[in-house]
A and B are shown apart, each in its own frame.
Chain A
Amino acid sequence: MDFWFSYIALASIYVLLGLSTNLLVGIAGIFSVSQAAVFGVGAYIVAFFLMNDTMSFLPALAIAALCCVGLNILVTLPALRVSGDYFVVTSFGIQLLATAVFTNWTDGTGGANGLPGIPPPDLAGKALESSGEVVTLCVAGMGLGCLIFWLVMRAPFGRLLRAIREDELAVAAAGKSVLRAKVSAAALAGAFAGTAGGLYATFLSFIDPSSFDLDSSILLLTMVVVGGARTLAGSILGPFLLLALPQILTLVDIPTTVAAAARQLIYGVLLIAFMLFRPQGLAGEKL
């Protein structure tokens, strides 16, 4: 597939993930390092339905999104009890658990070998075979995600989430349910991640646990930090910039075995450098 098509489709999918992470971590202040796990569940569900020819793409995507809504509420529930630093540890455990399931449940996920041959997405009975059509679908998904994020953030719900991040007790004293708002944020973030998973599985036609591991979760956090926390622009900028990096590295003459490690190294350095010197990212607010 043409490089630009592949880059734009993948970046669009990661924007959805960026929105999900930004909503949860940046706006609601629930510091999750397991968003890639939710992303993975969405991907595996859609892959399962399409490979078994159970249903067409859109209903499968809807079911994946719904499952991820439930799952994300479940995995963020501890955040409503344990706060801040402690939740990171809990979330870390959830991510490791998910990776273990993705790798070892060979009947469902194909294990470490992954699932090859996932059919392309189809709309209204027609399979989207050409790369142009698939890219359009991914970009449309991103557009819809951005619209939803924008609508939600300008509504009283967005203000409530910001208030909660600043002072939960004061929000409770104003007679608001902090719990309900956090659960709603987790639900929305889950829907974004599940949808991204479904698009990812059908776009690549192959998925394996390495796309949904801890590194991927950290990559999502890096995207949010570099792009900018709490803003729509930041959620779009981060994925587009960080996904360009591997391509830029291919222009440099280094062996492919080193390239993967170099990429991880650069991601890590970027994360630390931005945290230290520009915590608001390129287009965001202070985390």
Chain B
Amino acid sequence: MTAYLQASGVDVSFGGLKALNDCGFTVQQGKITCLVGPNGAGKTTIFNVITGFLRPGAGSVSFKGQTLDGWKPQAIVAAGIARTFQNLRLFVDLTAVDNVLASMPAQTGEEPVAAIFRPFHVASAQRRRREEALAILNRVGLIERANDFTRNLSYGEQKLLTIARVLATGAELILLDEPASGLSAGALDGVMALLRRLQDDGKTLLVVEHNTRVVQQIADDVLFLHQGHLMAQGTPEAIVNDPALAEIYFGGTI
């Protein structure tokens, strides 16, 4: 059986620093897989490789049996993989619903020719898209903020909006870069419940997360990255309770 997402032998170097060193793992379809490891372990770097933002020096990534090597970010999103960014990268001068609309795939009127010559067609297509965008906002719990400018949203709301934006791409494999960091306890529970709901809807999630409580609650599978290499893969219990990994993760104080 071919793996859903498979990385094998991925090397990435920044100058003399090996950010990823023979990094390999698999992600199973329909599961929430958490990617953990100390700072600088290469978690965000592997996201950049999977989504085509960074070309690895060696190794390859395949999705549903198809290699993604050399693909542009655009083609990878079209294949069904989308990501969020740790620093959000929202369009803060656009409204929440426009952020979602801007992330929806190929739309009529996204180039000037149709916009100029078929204005009524474009407008009616946009009305339908807007309904879909509002439904996505509703799903992440931001429907009341749909027409507010993104810069006026709270940090927690902005994090939810990044999730709404990846949902808008229609991707089936969603890579989330620290969706729970910096959130209050209440907001944290909301995000965890949302991730569970996405899983129930058939999405596969690969999540970079630091908070061990979150990992234990949502992860089906945990990947432990250290110095750009996969140290261990297993259930949350097995990973969290492994004293050797805790030593690496917490710097030997435990």
| Interface of A toward B, CB cutoff 8 Å | 148, 151-152, 154-160, 162-163, 166-167, 169-177, 180-181, 184-185, 187-188, 285
Contacts and interface: CB of A to CB of B under 8 A. Distances in A.
B109 A166 contact: no
A166 B112 contact: no
Contact of A151 (B53, B101, B105, B116): B116
A154 B169 CA distance: 21
A169 B54 CA distance: 12
B110 interface: yes
Nearest to B101: A159
B100 to A, nearest CB: 10
Contacts of A175: 73-74, 76-78, 82, 103, 105, 169
B192 interface: no
Interface stretch (B90-98, B193-201, B231-239): B90-98
Contacts of A176: 74, 102, 110
B197 to A, nearest CB: 22
A152 B115 contact: yes
B144 interface: no
B89 A167 contact: yes
B158 interface: no
11 contacts: A155-B115, A155-B119, A156-B109, A156-B129, A157-B112, A160-B102, A166-B91, A173-B73, A175-B73, A176-B74, A184-B112
A188 B111 CA distance: 10
B152 interface: no
A148 B105 CA distance: 24
Contacts of B53: 169, 172-173
B122 A156 contact: yes
Interface of B: 51, 53, 73-74, 76-78, 82-83, 85, 89-94, 98, 101-103, 105, 107-112, 114-116, 119, 122-123, 126, 129, 165, 168-169
Contacts of B123: 154
Given A166-B92, A167-B91, A174 B115 contact: no
B27 to A, nearest CB: 19
Given A174-B77, A174-B165, A160 B116 contact: no
Contact of A180 (B76, B91, B111, B126): B111
Contact of B101 (A152, A156, A173): A156
A152 B165 contact: no
A151 B98 CA distance: 17
A188 B116 CA distance: 11
Contacts of B83: 173
Contacts of A160: 102, 110
Contacts of B91: 162-163, 166-167, 170
Contact of A166 (B93, B105, B110): B93
A28 to B, nearest CB: 12
B193 to A, nearest CB: 25
B199 to A, nearest CB: 22
A117 to B, nearest CB: 35
